[in-house]
């Protein structure tokens, strides 16, 4: 079953490419989502199934990211049936095939214990998501697709260079060169510190580009803005989490090698810079999807900041990885319903959404409240843990700047959201029959809403253990 979790989506992707019917191939997407989630939950309860070979083994942070990706994909796959049924006039062979292949590649990243294999899987996520961004088939979407491909390809090339430098650090240290993560952790004290630092700079820039950290975030507003809500949700809650997982694994090697100070400061700088950039561009933003893109920049910066702070802040970062993925999924899917109904994504097109689409717009409003760190939703807990961790570790300036950026983002995001939802609309603006809210396009958003609400009130023990294990993976290997 463990191997099937990785390979089954690729088999279905090939099948989706062969099936001639636009209508029937759609159902392969939720079928894969259901299988993947059930298999993931089962594997997480069976440690003996979490090792396939030395290349493919689920480590602690991999388990957490795998569960998040699986649940998010399941919700997006159910939504996809309703979405694609409203677009049967467009060929969806590529959309279904690449969406399934993307799931397989994200799964491969979570299982990879070889840095070369992990890099290949991350590069493959770029290639499988580019056609998904282009699904709307207009000039802006092809521009966004090329920008995404070019910037992320340069970033991932730098990550490869950093991986080579890490291997050379092993040679310079007199050890046996290896790209297996367990081997690197075991021989970490022997690694050349100079080459380790060089390696981490390249890897932070490389995988940071895929995460959308500033200033390498420039692909995000265009890609998220022009992609469908499904793709935006998977990019913001799936792709970025996988890139963060790759960065976390290599950061752990640095900690085990005793190179904590330099990498720690780099993470703090990149985290604060990303939050500052998001706060600036959020002010006056009139495009709701681009607004969500800058929100993604902010929250990946926040997670990076928590990782760099360590201690209780790193626990908050692991929990926020889950919360951000689920909440972004909720926001992007709700935004997809709103933009389809109004035929645009700018405030000049969207007015009075609460009256036109009460469920989707209401959930979008709740998602805004949640993602900006308001109780009783789970992002409040993880953001508070990161903020509290900054003060407990004596990083008062970091904590103060964090509060300032969160306040600016709340004000900027709130202005855009409230204008779109509560503004006055033309009386003639009514949703078409095909774009009215349906069970399939609302139910997944309700499920994601329920998850972030429940996790804000009650933490299930299995999830608590997953988060604790992910934090321990980082802390125990501190050199």
The pLDDT value recorded for residue 138 is 81
Nearest residue to 355 via CA among 446, 433, 445, 430: 430
What proportion of the chain, given as a percentage, has pLDDT over 90?
A: 77
pLDDT band at 434 (very low <50, low <70, confident <90, very high): very low
At which residue do the structure tokens 């022009």 appear? 226
Residue range 300-353, pLDDT digits in tens = 999 999 999 988 999 999 999 999 999 999 999 999 999 988 888 888 888 889
- Is pLDDT at 427 greater than 70 in this prediction? no
Q: Domain total for the chain?
A: 1
For residue range 445-470, list pLDDT tens digits in order.
Answer: 999 999 999 999 999 999 999 999 99
Check residue 476 and give its pLDDT.
61
Domain residues for the domain of 139 are 133-476
Query: Residue 348 has what pLDDT?
Result: 84
| pLDDT value, residue 349 | 86
Over pLDDT 70: what percentage of the chain?
A: 96
Q: Is the pLDDT of residue 475 over 80?
A: no
CA distance 353 to 365: 10
pLDDT higher than 70, residue 291: yes
Phi, psi (deg, nearest 5) at residue 348: -70, -20
Q: Please check whether residue 65 lies inside any domain of the structure.
A: no
Peptide bond into 215 cis (omega under 30): yes
The whole-number average pLDDT for the span 181-193 is: 90
d(CA 383, CA 402): 10
Taking the C-alpha atoms of 354, 355, 356 and 359 in order, what is their torsion angle to the nearest 10 degrees?
A: 50
Q: Report the alpha-carbon distance of residue 147 to residue 356 in Å, rounded.
A: 34
| Neighbouring residues of 9: CB distance < 8 A, sequence distance ≥ 6 | 32, 36, 100, 101, 103, 104, 107
Whether 282 is covered by a domain: the verdict is yes
Q: Quote the pLDDT of residue 347.
A: 84
Task: Please check whether residue 153 lies inside any domain of the structure.
Answer: yes
Q: Does residue 23 lie in a domain region?
A: no
Confidence of residue 179 (pLDDT cuts 50, 70, 90): very high
Predicted pLDDT at 478: 45
140-163 mean pLDDT: 93
Cα 244 to Cα 212, 239, 254, 320: the distances in Å are: 10, 9, 15, 12
Over range 56-79, report the average pLDDT: 96
Mapped to the 3 state alphabet, what secondary structure does the chain carry? CHHHHHHHHHHHHHHHHHCCCCCCHHHHHHHHHHHHHHHHHHHHCCHHHCECCCCEECCHHHHHHHHHHHHHHHHHHHHHHHHHHCCCCCCCHHHHHHHHHHHHHHHHHHHECEHHHHHHHHHHHHHHHHHHHHHHCCHHHHHHHHHHHHHHHHHHHHHHHHHHHHHHHHHHCCCCCCCEHHHHHHCHHHCCHHHHHHHHHHHHHHHHHHHCCCCCCCHHHHHHHHCCHHHHHHHHHHHHHHHHHHHHHHHHHHHHCCCHHHHHHHHHHHHHHHHHHHHHHHCCCCEHHHHHHHHHHHHHHHHHHHHHHCCHHHHHHHHHHHHHHHHHHHHHHHHHHHHHHHCCCECCCCCCHHHHCHHHHHHHHHHHHHHCCCCCCHHHHHHHHHHHHHHHCCCHHHHHHHHHHHHHHHHHHHHHHHHHHHCCCCCCCCCCHHHCCCHHHHHHHHHHHHHHHHHHHCCCHHHHHHHHHHHHHHHHCCC
Tell me how far apart the alpha carbons of residues 243 and 126 are, in angstroms, rounded to a whole number.
11
Predicted local distance difference test score (pLDDT) of residue 425: 61
The answer to whether residue 377 sits within a structural domain is yes
- Spatial distance between the Cα atoms of 450 and 153, rounded to a whole number of angstroms: 36
The answer to whether the CB of 315 falls within 8 A of the CB of 467 is yes
For residue 199 the two structure tokens come to 């390696």
Residue 424 pLDDT level (bands cut at 50, 70, 90): low
Q: How far is CA 376 from CA 172, 373, 406, 451, in A?
A: 51, 9, 17, 12
CA distance 60 to 38: 19
- Predicted confidence (pLDDT) at residue 91 exceeds the cutoff of 80: yes
Is the Cβ–Cβ distance between 317 and 211 less than 8 Å?
no
Domain assignment present for residue 295? The answer is yes
pLDDT in tens, 198-244: 999 999 999 999 999 999 999 999 999 999 999 999 999 999 999 99
Residue 403 CB coordination number (10 Å): 12
Burial of 397 (0-12, 13-18, 19+ CB in 10 A): exposed
- Whether 280 shows a pLDDT value over 50: the answer reads yes
Position 53 in a domain? no
Identify the pLDDT of residue 1.
67
Mean pLDDT of the chain: 91
pLDDT of residue 422: 86
Residue 68 covered by a domain: no
Average pLDDT rounded to a whole number, residues 277-287: 92
**Do 108 and 238 meet the contact criterion of CB atoms below 8 Å apart?**
no
Residue 140 pLDDT grade (very low, low, confident, very high; cuts 50, 70, 90):
confident
Number of Cβ within a 10 Å radius of residue 17 = 15
Report residue 383 as tokens. Answer: 């953001």
């Amino acid at each position: 079953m463990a191997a099937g979790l990785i390979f089954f989506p690729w088999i279905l992707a090939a099948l989706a490419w062969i099936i001639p019917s636009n209508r029937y191939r759609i159902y392969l997407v939720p079928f894969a989502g259901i299988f993947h989630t059930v298999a993931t939950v089962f594997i997480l309860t069976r440690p003996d199934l979490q090792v396939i070979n030395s290349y493919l083994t689920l480590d602690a942070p991999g388990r957490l990211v795998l569960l998040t990706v699986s649940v998010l994909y399941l919700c997006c796959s159910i939504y996809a049936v309703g979405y694609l049924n409203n677009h049967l006039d467009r060929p969806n062979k590529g959309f279904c095939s690449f969406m399934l292949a993307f799931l397989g590649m994200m799964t491969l990243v979570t299982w990879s214990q070889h840095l070369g294999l992990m890099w290949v899987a991350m590069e493959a996520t770029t290639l499988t998501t580019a056609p998904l961004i282009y699904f709307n088939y207009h000039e802006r979407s092809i521009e966004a697709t090329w920008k995404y491909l070019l910037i992320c390809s340069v970033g991932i090339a730098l990550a490869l260079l950093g991986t080579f430098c890490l291997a050379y650090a092993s040679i310079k240290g007199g050890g046996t060169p290896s790209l297996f993560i367990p081997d690197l952790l075991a021989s970490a004290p022997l690694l050349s510190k100079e080459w380790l630092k060089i390696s981490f700079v390249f890897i932070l820039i490389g995988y940071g580009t895929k995460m959308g950290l500033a200033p390498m975030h420039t692909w995000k507003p265009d890609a998220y803005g022009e992609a469908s809500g499904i793709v935006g949700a998977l990019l913001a809650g799936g792709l970025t989490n996988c890139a963060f997982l790759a960065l976390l694994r290599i950061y752990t090697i640095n900690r085990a090698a005793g190179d904590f100070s330099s990498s720690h400061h780099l993470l703090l700088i990149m985290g604060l810079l990303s939050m500052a950039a998001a706060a600036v561009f959020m002010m006056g933003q009139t495009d709701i999807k681009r607004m969500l893109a800058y929100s993604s920049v902010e929250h990946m910066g926040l997670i990076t900041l928590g990782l760099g702070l360590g201690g209780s802040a790193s626990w908050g970062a692991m929990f926020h990885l889950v919360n951000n993925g689920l909440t972004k999924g909720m926001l992007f899917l709700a935004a997809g319903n709103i933009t389809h109904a109004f035929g645009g994504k700018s405030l000049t097109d969207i007015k009075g959404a609460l009256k036109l689409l009460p469920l989707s717009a209401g959930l979008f409003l709740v998602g805004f409240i949640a993602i900006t760190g308001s109780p009783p939703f789970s992002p409040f807990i993880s953001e508070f843990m990161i903020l509290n961790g900054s003060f407990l570790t004596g990083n008062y300036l970091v904590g103060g700047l964090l509060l300032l950026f969160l306040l600016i983002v709340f004000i900027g995001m709130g202005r855009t959201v409230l204008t779109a939802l509560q503004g006055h609309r033309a009386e003639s603006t009514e949703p078409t029959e095909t774009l009215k809210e349906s069970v399939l396009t609302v139910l997944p958003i309700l499920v994601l809403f329920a998850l972030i609400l429940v996790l804000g009130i009650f933490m299930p023990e299995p999830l608590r253990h997953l988060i604790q294990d992910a934090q321990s993976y980082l802390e125990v290997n501190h050199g």
